[in-house]
Chains A and B, each alone.
Chain A
Amino acid sequence: MGCFSSKHRRQFPGHEDPVSLASQTAFTVSEVEALFELFKSISSSVIDDGLISKEEFQLALFKNRKKENLFANRIFDLFDVKHKGVIDFGDFVRALNVFHPNAPHEDKVDFSFKLYDLDSTGFIERQEVKQMLIALLCESEMKLADETIEIILDKTFVDADVNQDGKIDKEEWQNFVSRNPSLMKIMTLPYLRDITTTFPSFVFNSEVDEIAT
Chain B
Amino acid sequence: MKKRTRRINPWYYEPHVDEILEDGWFRIDYEPAEAITNEKASLEDVYQAFHRIGTRKIQSPRFVNAFQLIAMSNHLDLSGLLEEQKTKLGSRHPMTETIEKIEVAAKDASLSVERTNSSKVKLHAPQKLTRSISQNTVSAEVIEVTPTHCMIEVSRSSSTGEIRSYKEFCRSLSSILK
Contact = CB atoms under 8 A, between A and B. Distances in A.
Interface of A: 37-38, 41-42, 44-46, 59-63, 69-72, 75, 99, 115-116, 129, 132-133, 135-137, 139-140, 147-148, 151-156, 158-160, 176, 180, 182-183, 185-186, 189, 191-192, 195, 198-203
Per DSSP, chain A at the interface is helix
Given A133-B70, A136-B69, A99 B78 contact: yes
Interface of B: 54, 56, 58, 60, 63-83, 85, 130-133, 135, 157-159, 161-164
A202 B127 CA distance: 13
A41 B133 CA distance: 15
Nearest to A37: B159
A71 B132 contact: no
B64 A132 contact: no
Contacts, number: 123
B170 to A, nearest CB: 11
Which 8 pairs between the two chains have the least Cβ-Cβ distance? A45-B163, A71-B75, A156-B66, A199-B159, A191-B82, A61-B80, A198-B159, A156-B65
B65 A203 contact: no
A115 to B, nearest CB: 8
Contacts of A183: 67-68, 71
Contact of B161 (A41, A46, A62, A135): A41
Given A69-B75, A151-B58, A154-B56, A38 B82 contact: yes
B64 to A, nearest CB: 7
A45 B82 contact: no
B121 to A, nearest CB: 21
Given A41-B158, A61-B81, A75-B76, A200 B65 contact: no
